[in-house]
Structure 1
Amino acid sequence: MKRLLFSILLLAAASPLAAQLYHPGEVLDYRVSYKAKMFPNTEVGTVEIVTSIDSLPDGKPLYKVVGAGRTLPTYRWFFNLEDIYTVWIDAERLRPLRFESDIREGDYTFQSFYTYDWDNARIDTRWRSRQNPYEQRQMELTQQSMDPIALFFNLRSAEADDFREGEPATLRMVLQDTIRDLRFRYLGRETKKIRNMGRFRTLKFECELGSTEEFSFTDGTVFTIWISDDKNKIPLYIESPVRIGSIQAYLSGYKGLKYPLSSRDK
Protein backbone atom coordinates (compact mmCIF):
# COMPACT_ATOMS: atom_id res chain seq x y z
CA MET A 1 0.00 0.00 0.00
CA LYS A 2 2.73 2.46 0.90
CA ARG A 3 4.66 1.86 -2.31
CA LEU A 4 1.49 2.37 -4.33
CA LEU A 5 0.86 5.74 -2.72
CA PHE A 6 4.38 6.70 -3.74
CA SER A 7 3.55 5.52 -7.26
CA ILE A 8 0.48 7.74 -7.39
CA LEU A 9 2.48 10.73 -6.21
CA LEU A 10 5.13 9.99 -8.81
CA LEU A 11 3.04 9.03 -11.78
CA ALA A 12 3.03 12.42 -13.47
CA ALA A 13 6.77 12.88 -13.08
CA ALA A 14 7.96 12.52 -16.63
CA SER A 15 9.71 15.75 -17.63
CA PRO A 16 11.74 18.33 -15.64
CA LEU A 17 9.73 21.33 -16.75
CA ALA A 18 9.95 24.77 -15.21
CA ALA A 19 6.23 25.47 -15.65
CA GLN A 20 4.18 23.26 -13.33
CA LEU A 21 0.42 23.15 -12.88
CA TYR A 22 -0.58 23.99 -9.31
CA HIS A 23 -4.25 24.96 -9.18
CA PRO A 24 -5.71 25.86 -5.75
CA GLY A 25 -9.00 24.07 -5.17
CA GLU A 26 -8.08 20.99 -7.19
CA VAL A 27 -8.95 17.69 -5.47
CA LEU A 28 -8.12 14.27 -6.94
CA ASP A 29 -9.59 11.13 -5.34
CA TYR A 30 -8.42 7.58 -5.99
CA ARG A 31 -9.50 4.09 -4.97
CA VAL A 32 -6.84 1.46 -4.36
CA SER A 33 -7.50 -2.24 -4.97
CA TYR A 34 -5.58 -5.52 -4.69
CA LYS A 35 -5.88 -8.49 -7.04
CA ALA A 36 -4.28 -11.96 -7.06
CA LYS A 37 -4.87 -15.22 -8.94
CA MET A 38 -7.02 -16.75 -6.20
CA PHE A 39 -8.17 -13.42 -4.74
CA PRO A 40 -10.89 -11.20 -6.25
CA ASN A 41 -10.20 -7.58 -7.11
CA THR A 42 -10.93 -5.90 -3.76
CA GLU A 43 -10.84 -2.21 -2.85
CA VAL A 44 -8.66 -1.73 0.21
CA GLY A 45 -7.83 1.98 0.42
CA THR A 46 -8.11 5.54 -0.83
CA VAL A 47 -5.73 8.31 -1.86
CA GLU A 48 -6.61 12.02 -1.95
CA ILE A 49 -4.46 14.84 -3.36
CA VAL A 50 -5.50 18.41 -2.50
CA THR A 51 -3.96 21.70 -3.70
CA SER A 52 -4.54 24.95 -1.78
CA ILE A 53 -3.01 28.39 -1.12
CA ASP A 54 -0.78 29.06 1.90
CA SER A 55 1.72 31.79 2.78
CA LEU A 56 4.99 32.45 4.58
CA PRO A 57 5.03 34.65 7.72
CA ASP A 58 6.04 37.60 5.51
CA GLY A 59 2.93 37.06 3.38
CA LYS A 60 4.75 35.52 0.42
CA PRO A 61 2.25 33.21 -1.36
CA LEU A 62 2.80 29.45 -1.46
CA TYR A 63 1.02 26.50 -2.99
CA LYS A 64 0.36 23.69 -0.54
CA VAL A 65 -0.24 20.16 -1.78
CA VAL A 66 -1.30 17.33 0.54
CA GLY A 67 -1.37 13.67 -0.51
CA ALA A 68 -3.06 11.28 1.95
CA GLY A 69 -3.44 7.51 1.69
CA ARG A 70 -5.71 5.57 4.07
CA THR A 71 -7.01 2.05 4.51
CA LEU A 72 -10.77 1.71 4.08
CA PRO A 73 -12.61 1.29 7.43
CA THR A 74 -13.52 -2.32 6.55
CA TYR A 75 -9.84 -3.31 6.59
CA ARG A 76 -8.47 -1.18 9.44
CA TRP A 77 -8.91 -4.03 11.92
CA PHE A 78 -6.47 -6.01 9.77
CA PHE A 79 -4.01 -3.30 8.79
CA ASN A 80 -4.49 0.34 9.71
CA LEU A 81 -2.65 2.71 7.40
CA GLU A 82 -2.53 6.51 7.19
CA ASP A 83 0.24 8.12 5.15
CA ILE A 84 0.28 11.91 4.73
CA TYR A 85 2.70 13.81 2.50
CA THR A 86 2.78 17.63 2.35
CA VAL A 87 4.82 19.99 0.19
CA TRP A 88 4.96 23.79 0.07
CA ILE A 89 5.88 25.40 -3.27
CA ASP A 90 7.06 28.93 -4.00
CA ALA A 91 4.16 30.33 -6.04
CA GLU A 92 6.44 32.67 -8.00
CA ARG A 93 9.44 30.45 -8.76
CA LEU A 94 7.38 27.23 -8.84
CA ARG A 95 9.96 25.34 -6.81
CA PRO A 96 9.36 23.26 -3.66
CA LEU A 97 10.55 24.86 -0.43
CA ARG A 98 9.59 22.32 2.23
CA PHE A 99 8.37 18.74 2.37
CA GLU A 100 6.98 16.68 5.26
CA SER A 101 5.79 13.09 5.55
CA ASP A 102 3.98 11.38 8.40
CA ILE A 103 3.61 7.62 7.86
CA ARG A 104 1.59 5.35 10.16
CA GLU A 105 1.23 1.73 9.11
CA GLY A 106 0.16 -0.62 11.87
CA ASP A 107 2.78 -0.32 14.63
CA TYR A 108 5.24 1.35 12.24
CA THR A 109 5.65 5.14 12.24
CA PHE A 110 8.02 7.27 10.21
CA GLN A 111 8.52 11.03 9.83
CA SER A 112 10.69 12.98 7.41
CA PHE A 113 11.33 16.67 6.72
CA TYR A 114 13.11 18.26 3.74
CA THR A 115 14.22 21.88 3.39
CA TYR A 116 15.26 23.10 -0.06
CA ASP A 117 18.04 25.66 -0.50
CA TRP A 118 17.92 26.42 -4.22
CA ASP A 119 20.32 29.37 -4.03
CA ASN A 120 23.06 27.09 -2.70
CA ALA A 121 21.92 23.98 -4.64
CA ARG A 122 21.47 21.78 -1.57
CA ILE A 123 18.74 20.05 0.39
CA ASP A 124 18.69 19.31 4.12
CA THR A 125 16.78 16.21 5.20
CA ARG A 126 16.03 14.69 8.60
CA TRP A 127 14.01 11.62 9.47
CA ARG A 128 13.20 9.11 12.18
CA SER A 129 11.16 5.97 12.79
CA ARG A 130 9.08 5.46 15.93
CA GLN A 131 10.60 7.52 18.76
CA ASN A 132 14.22 7.12 17.66
CA PRO A 133 16.48 10.19 17.47
CA TYR A 134 16.41 12.12 14.22
CA GLU A 135 19.00 11.35 11.58
CA GLN A 136 19.95 14.03 9.09
CA ARG A 137 21.87 14.57 5.90
CA GLN A 138 22.70 17.36 3.47
CA MET A 139 22.75 16.49 -0.24
CA GLU A 140 23.50 18.21 -3.53
CA LEU A 141 20.41 19.53 -5.26
CA THR A 142 19.86 19.67 -9.02
CA GLN A 143 16.99 21.07 -11.06
CA GLN A 144 15.69 17.51 -11.54
CA SER A 145 15.84 16.51 -7.83
CA MET A 146 12.54 16.84 -5.96
CA ASP A 147 10.34 15.12 -3.43
CA PRO A 148 7.56 12.75 -4.65
CA ILE A 149 4.73 15.30 -4.59
CA ALA A 150 6.70 18.02 -6.39
CA LEU A 151 7.58 15.48 -9.06
CA PHE A 152 3.90 14.64 -9.34
CA PHE A 153 3.23 18.03 -10.96
CA ASN A 154 6.26 18.16 -13.21
CA LEU A 155 4.62 16.78 -16.35
CA ARG A 156 1.34 18.58 -16.22
CA SER A 157 1.98 21.52 -18.51
CA ALA A 158 3.81 19.49 -21.19
CA GLU A 159 2.35 18.98 -24.62
CA ALA A 160 1.62 15.37 -25.59
CA ASP A 161 3.35 15.86 -28.93
CA ASP A 162 6.61 16.59 -27.07
CA PHE A 163 6.87 12.94 -25.99
CA ARG A 164 8.70 10.43 -28.17
CA GLU A 165 7.25 6.93 -28.07
CA GLY A 166 9.68 4.36 -26.61
CA GLU A 167 12.32 6.97 -25.74
CA PRO A 168 13.68 6.45 -22.17
CA ALA A 169 14.34 9.29 -19.74
CA THR A 170 15.29 9.74 -16.09
CA LEU A 171 14.32 11.96 -13.17
CA ARG A 172 15.66 12.05 -9.61
CA MET A 173 13.65 11.74 -6.41
CA VAL A 174 14.82 12.80 -2.94
CA LEU A 175 14.21 10.17 -0.23
CA GLN A 176 15.60 10.86 3.26
CA ASP A 177 19.30 9.98 2.93
CA THR A 178 19.48 9.17 -0.76
CA ILE A 179 18.38 10.31 -4.21
CA ARG A 180 16.75 7.67 -6.38
CA ASP A 181 16.46 7.60 -10.12
CA LEU A 182 13.05 7.28 -11.75
CA ARG A 183 13.25 5.88 -15.29
CA PHE A 184 10.28 6.04 -17.63
CA ARG A 185 9.23 5.35 -21.21
CA TYR A 186 6.30 6.84 -23.08
CA LEU A 187 4.33 3.96 -24.63
CA GLY A 188 1.90 6.01 -26.69
CA ARG A 189 -1.79 6.89 -26.67
CA GLU A 190 -4.43 4.43 -25.50
CA THR A 191 -8.16 4.50 -24.71
CA LYS A 192 -8.64 3.31 -21.13
CA LYS A 193 -11.83 2.39 -19.29
CA ILE A 194 -11.88 3.68 -15.70
CA ARG A 195 -14.23 1.98 -13.27
CA ASN A 196 -17.40 4.05 -12.66
CA MET A 197 -15.90 6.97 -14.63
CA GLY A 198 -16.16 5.93 -18.27
CA ARG A 199 -13.63 5.76 -21.09
CA PHE A 200 -10.75 8.20 -21.49
CA ARG A 201 -8.13 9.03 -24.08
CA THR A 202 -4.83 8.59 -22.24
CA LEU A 203 -1.05 8.85 -22.46
CA LYS A 204 0.57 5.63 -21.22
CA PHE A 205 3.92 5.44 -19.40
CA GLU A 206 6.00 2.60 -18.00
CA CYS A 207 8.02 3.66 -14.94
CA GLU A 208 10.67 2.12 -12.73
CA LEU A 209 11.95 3.57 -9.47
CA GLY A 210 15.45 2.46 -8.50
CA SER A 211 16.09 1.17 -4.99
CA THR A 212 19.27 3.15 -4.33
CA GLU A 213 21.38 5.89 -5.88
CA GLU A 214 22.35 5.67 -9.54
CA PHE A 215 20.76 2.77 -11.48
CA SER A 216 20.12 -0.09 -9.07
CA PHE A 217 16.68 -1.29 -10.14
CA THR A 218 16.83 -4.95 -9.09
CA ASP A 219 14.42 -4.45 -6.21
CA GLY A 220 12.88 -1.13 -7.15
CA THR A 221 9.24 -0.29 -7.79
CA VAL A 222 7.81 -0.87 -11.28
CA PHE A 223 4.48 0.59 -12.32
CA THR A 224 2.45 1.56 -15.39
CA ILE A 225 0.42 4.75 -15.46
CA TRP A 226 -2.25 6.23 -17.73
CA ILE A 227 -2.76 10.00 -17.59
CA SER A 228 -5.48 12.09 -19.20
CA ASP A 229 -4.70 13.21 -22.74
CA ASP A 230 -5.76 16.82 -22.17
CA LYS A 231 -4.33 19.98 -20.59
CA ASN A 232 -4.86 18.74 -17.03
CA LYS A 233 -2.60 15.65 -17.42
CA ILE A 234 -4.13 14.02 -14.34
CA PRO A 235 -3.39 10.40 -13.42
CA LEU A 236 -6.32 8.13 -14.27
CA TYR A 237 -5.07 4.60 -13.61
CA ILE A 238 -1.96 3.03 -12.06
CA GLU A 239 -0.96 -0.61 -11.88
CA SER A 240 1.97 -1.98 -9.90
CA PRO A 241 2.93 -5.66 -9.52
CA VAL A 242 3.67 -6.94 -6.02
CA ARG A 243 5.16 -10.23 -4.84
CA ILE A 244 1.79 -11.95 -5.12
CA GLY A 245 -0.72 -10.31 -7.47
CA SER A 246 -0.92 -6.61 -8.28
CA ILE A 247 -2.18 -3.33 -6.88
CA GLN A 248 -4.24 -0.85 -8.90
CA ALA A 249 -5.32 2.70 -8.24
CA TYR A 250 -7.90 4.54 -10.32
CA LEU A 251 -9.49 7.96 -10.34
CA SER A 252 -12.79 7.90 -8.46
CA GLY A 253 -13.59 11.61 -8.28
CA TYR A 254 -12.26 15.10 -8.95
CA LYS A 255 -13.14 18.77 -8.60
CA GLY A 256 -11.58 22.15 -9.17
CA LEU A 257 -9.63 21.23 -12.31
CA LYS A 258 -8.11 24.18 -14.13
CA TYR A 259 -9.17 22.88 -17.55
CA PRO A 260 -12.12 20.80 -18.83
CA LEU A 261 -11.53 17.05 -18.68
CA SER A 262 -11.82 16.86 -22.46
CA SER A 263 -10.13 13.43 -22.66
CA ARG A 264 -13.31 11.78 -21.37
CA ASP A 265 -15.25 10.15 -24.21
CA LYS A 266 -18.88 11.18 -24.45
Structure 2
Amino acid sequence: MKRKILTLLLLIAATPLAAQLYHPGERLDYRVSYRAKMFPNTEIGAVEVSTVEESHDGTNCYKVVGAGRTLPTYRWFFNVEDIYTVWVDPQTLRPMAFNSSIREGDYTFRSDYVYDWEHSEIRTRWQSRQRPEKHKNMPLEENSMDPISLFFTLRAADVASFREGEPATLQMVLEDTIRHLRYRYLGRETKKIRNMGKFRTLKFDCQLGSSQGYSFTDGSVFTIWISDDENKIPLYIESPVKIGSINAYISGYKGLKYPLSSLIK
Protein backbone atom coordinates (compact mmCIF):
# COMPACT_ATOMS: atom_id res chain seq x y z
CA MET A 1 0.00 0.00 0.00
CA LYS A 2 2.81 2.45 0.83
CA ARG A 3 4.31 2.53 -2.67
CA LYS A 4 0.89 3.15 -4.24
CA ILE A 5 0.30 6.48 -2.50
CA LEU A 6 2.48 8.71 -4.68
CA THR A 7 3.22 6.49 -7.66
CA LEU A 8 -0.43 6.09 -8.65
CA LEU A 9 -1.13 9.79 -8.31
CA LEU A 10 1.79 10.59 -10.61
CA LEU A 11 0.58 8.05 -13.16
CA ILE A 12 -2.87 9.53 -13.61
CA ALA A 13 -3.97 11.40 -16.69
CA ALA A 14 -2.21 9.24 -19.27
CA THR A 15 -3.40 9.24 -22.90
CA PRO A 16 -1.48 9.91 -26.14
CA LEU A 17 -0.95 13.52 -27.16
CA ALA A 18 0.87 15.61 -29.69
CA ALA A 19 1.68 18.11 -26.94
CA GLN A 20 1.50 18.45 -23.18
CA LEU A 21 0.49 21.35 -20.95
CA TYR A 22 3.34 22.64 -18.80
CA HIS A 23 2.65 26.01 -17.18
CA PRO A 24 5.32 27.64 -14.98
CA GLY A 25 3.81 28.79 -11.69
CA GLU A 26 1.16 26.08 -11.59
CA ARG A 27 0.84 24.15 -8.34
CA LEU A 28 -1.57 21.30 -7.57
CA ASP A 29 -2.08 20.01 -4.02
CA TYR A 30 -3.62 16.65 -3.11
CA ARG A 31 -4.58 14.76 0.02
CA VAL A 32 -4.26 10.98 0.19
CA SER A 33 -6.59 8.90 2.33
CA TYR A 34 -7.14 5.27 3.25
CA ARG A 35 -10.71 3.99 3.33
CA ALA A 36 -11.97 0.70 4.78
CA LYS A 37 -14.94 -0.56 6.77
CA MET A 38 -13.43 0.47 10.11
CA PHE A 39 -11.74 3.58 8.63
CA PRO A 40 -14.33 5.55 6.60
CA ASN A 41 -11.87 8.24 5.42
CA THR A 42 -8.49 8.58 7.14
CA GLU A 43 -6.14 11.17 5.62
CA ILE A 44 -2.59 9.84 5.72
CA GLY A 45 -0.56 11.85 3.20
CA ALA A 46 -0.19 14.91 0.99
CA VAL A 47 1.15 15.34 -2.55
CA GLU A 48 2.26 18.53 -4.31
CA VAL A 49 2.99 18.89 -8.04
CA SER A 50 4.61 22.19 -9.11
CA THR A 51 6.08 23.58 -12.34
CA VAL A 52 8.81 26.24 -12.70
CA GLU A 53 11.27 27.42 -15.35
CA GLU A 54 14.89 26.47 -14.73
CA SER A 55 18.20 25.90 -16.52
CA HIS A 56 19.37 22.29 -16.73
CA ASP A 57 22.79 21.47 -18.22
CA GLY A 58 22.81 24.91 -19.83
CA THR A 59 19.35 24.55 -21.40
CA ASN A 60 16.29 26.51 -20.32
CA CYS A 61 13.53 24.05 -19.48
CA TYR A 62 10.44 23.32 -17.44
CA LYS A 63 11.14 21.66 -14.12
CA VAL A 64 8.26 19.69 -12.62
CA VAL A 65 8.48 18.32 -9.08
CA GLY A 66 6.06 15.82 -7.55
CA ALA A 67 6.54 15.42 -3.79
CA GLY A 68 4.58 13.06 -1.53
CA ARG A 69 4.84 13.00 2.26
CA THR A 70 3.09 11.33 5.18
CA LEU A 71 1.05 13.75 7.29
CA PRO A 72 2.73 14.60 10.64
CA THR A 73 0.13 12.61 12.60
CA TYR A 74 1.26 9.36 10.97
CA ARG A 75 5.02 9.88 10.64
CA TRP A 76 5.65 8.08 13.91
CA PHE A 77 4.00 5.01 12.39
CA PHE A 78 5.47 5.15 8.89
CA ASN A 79 7.38 8.09 7.45
CA VAL A 80 7.19 8.56 3.66
CA GLU A 81 8.99 11.23 1.63
CA ASP A 82 9.05 10.59 -2.11
CA ILE A 83 10.27 13.26 -4.55
CA TYR A 84 10.10 12.90 -8.34
CA THR A 85 11.62 15.53 -10.67
CA VAL A 86 11.57 15.84 -14.45
CA TRP A 87 13.18 18.44 -16.74
CA VAL A 88 11.28 19.07 -19.98
CA ASP A 89 12.40 20.76 -23.21
CA PRO A 90 9.94 23.68 -23.73
CA GLN A 91 10.33 23.49 -27.52
CA THR A 92 9.76 19.78 -28.12
CA LEU A 93 7.87 19.17 -24.83
CA ARG A 94 9.88 15.97 -24.46
CA PRO A 95 11.44 14.97 -21.11
CA MET A 96 15.20 15.55 -20.95
CA ALA A 97 16.07 14.00 -17.58
CA PHE A 98 14.32 12.43 -14.60
CA ASN A 99 15.27 11.90 -10.96
CA SER A 100 13.57 10.17 -8.04
CA SER A 101 14.48 10.20 -4.35
CA ILE A 102 12.42 7.83 -2.20
CA ARG A 103 12.49 7.44 1.57
CA GLU A 104 9.89 5.14 3.11
CA GLY A 105 10.66 4.09 6.66
CA ASP A 106 14.16 2.57 6.59
CA TYR A 107 13.94 1.98 2.83
CA THR A 108 15.74 4.38 0.47
CA PHE A 109 15.90 4.41 -3.30
CA ARG A 110 17.15 6.81 -5.96
CA SER A 111 17.12 6.71 -9.74
CA ASP A 112 18.19 8.91 -12.65
CA TYR A 113 17.18 8.77 -16.32
CA VAL A 114 18.72 10.59 -19.28
CA TYR A 115 16.63 10.77 -22.46
CA ASP A 116 18.64 10.60 -25.70
CA TRP A 117 15.98 11.30 -28.31
CA GLU A 118 18.54 11.73 -31.11
CA HIS A 119 19.64 8.10 -30.73
CA SER A 120 16.27 6.78 -29.45
CA GLU A 121 17.80 5.57 -26.19
CA ILE A 122 17.18 6.11 -22.49
CA ARG A 123 20.01 5.62 -20.00
CA THR A 124 18.93 4.69 -16.48
CA ARG A 125 20.76 4.15 -13.21
CA TRP A 126 19.33 3.29 -9.79
CA GLN A 127 20.35 2.23 -6.30
CA SER A 128 18.51 1.09 -3.16
CA ARG A 129 19.94 1.27 0.36
CA GLN A 130 23.64 0.30 0.36
CA ARG A 131 23.44 -1.99 -2.67
CA PRO A 132 25.70 -1.36 -5.69
CA GLU A 133 24.41 1.08 -8.28
CA LYS A 134 22.92 -0.51 -11.40
CA HIS A 135 22.79 0.80 -14.97
CA LYS A 136 20.84 -0.05 -18.10
CA ASN A 137 20.28 1.42 -21.57
CA MET A 138 16.91 0.77 -23.20
CA PRO A 139 15.24 1.65 -26.53
CA LEU A 140 13.29 4.91 -26.38
CA GLU A 141 9.99 5.21 -28.21
CA GLU A 142 7.84 8.29 -28.77
CA ASN A 143 5.38 7.30 -26.03
CA SER A 144 7.94 6.07 -23.47
CA MET A 145 7.85 8.30 -20.37
CA ASP A 146 8.65 8.52 -16.70
CA PRO A 147 5.81 8.79 -14.12
CA ILE A 148 5.91 12.61 -13.94
CA SER A 149 5.79 13.01 -17.73
CA LEU A 150 2.81 10.66 -17.87
CA PHE A 151 1.11 12.87 -15.30
CA PHE A 152 0.95 15.66 -17.90
CA THR A 153 0.19 13.60 -20.98
CA LEU A 154 -3.58 14.13 -20.98
CA ARG A 155 -3.43 17.86 -20.30
CA ALA A 156 -3.74 19.09 -23.89
CA ALA A 157 -5.96 16.32 -25.27
CA ASP A 158 -8.94 17.03 -27.48
CA VAL A 159 -11.92 15.57 -25.63
CA ALA A 160 -13.67 14.98 -28.94
CA SER A 161 -10.99 12.41 -29.80
CA PHE A 162 -11.94 10.15 -26.85
CA ARG A 163 -13.97 7.05 -27.68
CA GLU A 164 -15.94 5.67 -24.75
CA GLY A 165 -14.87 2.13 -23.80
CA GLU A 166 -12.04 2.00 -26.35
CA PRO A 167 -8.81 0.59 -24.78
CA ALA A 168 -5.35 2.03 -25.39
CA THR A 169 -1.86 1.48 -23.97
CA LEU A 170 1.13 3.66 -23.06
CA GLN A 171 4.64 2.82 -21.88
CA MET A 172 6.33 3.85 -18.63
CA VAL A 173 10.06 3.63 -17.93
CA LEU A 174 10.91 2.10 -14.53
CA GLU A 175 14.63 1.55 -13.88
CA ASP A 176 15.32 -1.58 -15.94
CA THR A 177 11.90 -2.29 -17.46
CA ILE A 178 9.29 -0.75 -19.71
CA ARG A 179 5.90 -1.20 -18.06
CA HIS A 180 2.60 -0.73 -19.84
CA LEU A 181 -0.34 1.38 -18.79
CA ARG A 182 -3.71 0.36 -20.21
CA TYR A 183 -6.64 2.76 -19.99
CA ARG A 184 -10.25 3.21 -21.13
CA TYR A 185 -12.32 6.38 -21.30
CA LEU A 186 -15.60 5.76 -19.43
CA GLY A 187 -17.39 9.01 -20.22
CA ARG A 188 -18.39 12.21 -18.42
CA GLU A 189 -19.49 12.29 -14.78
CA THR A 190 -20.24 14.90 -12.10
CA LYS A 191 -17.90 14.27 -9.16
CA LYS A 192 -18.06 15.78 -5.68
CA ILE A 193 -14.62 16.50 -4.20
CA ARG A 194 -14.25 16.88 -0.45
CA ASN A 195 -14.01 20.56 0.62
CA MET A 196 -13.78 21.65 -3.04
CA GLY A 197 -17.30 21.25 -4.49
CA LYS A 198 -18.75 19.52 -7.52
CA PHE A 199 -16.92 19.22 -10.84
CA ARG A 200 -17.73 18.12 -14.36
CA THR A 201 -15.19 15.37 -15.01
CA LEU A 202 -13.80 12.90 -17.54
CA LYS A 203 -13.61 9.41 -16.07
CA PHE A 204 -10.93 6.81 -16.92
CA ASP A 205 -10.34 3.21 -15.88
CA CYS A 206 -6.60 2.36 -15.78
CA GLN A 207 -4.41 -0.66 -15.15
CA LEU A 208 -0.62 -0.73 -14.79
CA GLY A 209 1.07 -3.91 -15.98
CA SER A 210 3.42 -5.95 -13.82
CA SER A 211 7.20 -5.71 -13.93
CA GLN A 212 7.14 -8.16 -16.83
CA GLY A 213 5.72 -5.30 -18.87
CA TYR A 214 2.93 -6.94 -20.83
CA SER A 215 1.18 -8.83 -18.01
CA PHE A 216 -1.81 -7.03 -16.47
CA THR A 217 -2.93 -9.93 -14.26
CA ASP A 218 -1.01 -8.73 -11.20
CA GLY A 219 -0.66 -5.02 -11.93
CA SER A 220 -2.25 -2.04 -10.17
CA VAL A 221 -5.82 -1.01 -11.02
CA PHE A 222 -7.18 2.50 -10.48
CA THR A 223 -9.92 4.90 -11.60
CA ILE A 224 -9.24 8.58 -12.28
CA TRP A 225 -11.53 11.60 -12.65
CA ILE A 226 -10.10 14.60 -14.56
CA SER A 227 -11.52 18.13 -14.82
CA ASP A 228 -13.62 18.56 -17.95
CA ASP A 229 -12.02 21.86 -19.05
CA GLU A 230 -8.87 23.04 -20.80
CA ASN A 231 -6.66 22.44 -17.74
CA LYS A 232 -7.41 18.68 -17.54
CA ILE A 233 -6.51 18.63 -13.83
CA PRO A 234 -6.50 15.20 -12.14
CA LEU A 235 -9.16 15.66 -9.44
CA TYR A 236 -9.69 12.26 -7.84
CA ILE A 237 -8.11 8.82 -7.97
CA GLU A 238 -9.27 5.61 -6.38
CA SER A 239 -7.32 2.35 -6.20
CA PRO A 240 -8.37 -0.83 -4.37
CA VAL A 241 -5.93 -2.55 -1.99
CA LYS A 242 -6.26 -5.88 -0.16
CA ILE A 243 -8.44 -4.27 2.51
CA GLY A 244 -10.23 -1.08 1.49
CA SER A 245 -8.91 1.48 -0.98
CA ILE A 246 -6.41 4.29 -1.41
CA ASN A 247 -7.90 7.62 -2.54
CA ALA A 248 -6.27 10.88 -3.57
CA TYR A 249 -8.19 14.09 -4.22
CA ILE A 250 -7.30 17.66 -5.04
CA SER A 251 -7.19 19.99 -2.05
CA GLY A 252 -5.87 23.19 -3.64
CA TYR A 253 -4.47 24.78 -6.79
CA LYS A 254 -2.94 28.00 -8.09
CA GLY A 255 -1.35 29.41 -11.21
CA LEU A 256 -3.60 27.56 -13.66
CA LYS A 257 -3.27 28.55 -17.30
CA TYR A 258 -7.03 28.42 -17.96
CA PRO A 259 -10.16 29.12 -15.86
CA LEU A 260 -11.37 26.11 -13.90
CA SER A 261 -14.68 26.10 -15.73
CA SER A 262 -15.46 22.50 -14.72
CA LEU A 263 -16.22 23.64 -11.15
CA ILE A 264 -19.99 23.80 -10.68
CA LYS A 265 -20.86 26.85 -8.58
Residue aligning to 2:86: 87
Contact 1:44 1:75 in 2 (8 A): yes
Q: Which moved more, 1:130-139 or 1:162-171?
A: 130-139
Q: Secondary structure at the match of 2:5?
A: helix
Distance of 2:89 and 2:32 partners within structure 1: 31
Report if the CA contact (8 A) 1:18-1:94 is conserved: no
Q: Percent identity?
A: 70
User: What displacement does 1:214 show?
Assistant: 3.7
Corresponding residue for residue 136 of structure 1? 135
| Alpha-carbon distance between aligned partners in 2 of 1:107 and 1:57, rounded to the nearest angstrom | 32
Q: What secondary structure sits across from 1:39 in the alignment?
A: coil
Deviations 1:192-229 (A, max 9, x none): 00000000000000000001244211221100000000
Normalising by structure 1, report the TM-score: 0.97
Unpaired runs of 5+ in structure 1?
A: none
1:230-259 Cα distance to aligned partner (Å, 9 max, x none): 000000000000111101000000000000
- Give the 3-state SS of the residue equivalent to 1:74 in structure 2: helix
Give 1:57 shift: 4.4
Q: What is the aligned partner in structure 2 of residue 78 from structure 1?
A: 77
Letter of the 2:250 counterpart: L
Which position in structure 1 is the counterpart of 2:173?
174
Task: Write out per-residue CA displacement over residues 49-89 of structure 1, whole angstroms, 9 at most, x where no aligned residue.
Answer: 0000011343x310000000000000000000000000000
Q: Provide the rounded CA distance (Å) in 1 between the counterparts of 2:106 and 2:228.
A: 40
Q: Which residue of 2 aligns with 1:18?
A: 18
Q: Residue 177 of structure 1: CA displacement?
A: 0.4
Match of 1:68 in 2: 67
C-alpha contact 2:113 2:122 (8 A) present in aligned 1: yes
Residues matched between the structures, number: 264
Are positions 1:42 and 2:39 aligned together? no
Matches within 5 A, 1:74-223: 74-223=73-222
Alignment RMSD: 0.9
Contact 2:56 2:87 in 1 (8 A): no
CA apart distance, 1:100:
0.4
Partner residue, 1:6: 7
Native 8 Å contact 2:13 2:152 kept in 1: yes
Q: Deviations over 1:75-116 (max 9, x none)?
A: 000000000000000111110010000000000000000000
CA contact (8 A) 2:227 2:262 kept: yes
Structure 2 residue aligned with 1:27: 27
**Structure 2, unaligned runs of 5 or more:** none
8 Å CA contact 1:4–1:240 kept in 2: the answer is no
Contact 1:67 1:86 (C-alpha < 8 Å) held by counterparts:
yes
Aligned to 2:46, the other structure's residue is in SS state strand
**Counterparts of 1:215 and 1:56, CA distance in 2:** 34
1:7 match: secondary structure? helix
CA shift digits 1:6-38 (9 cap, x unpaired): 1111111112x1311000000000000001122
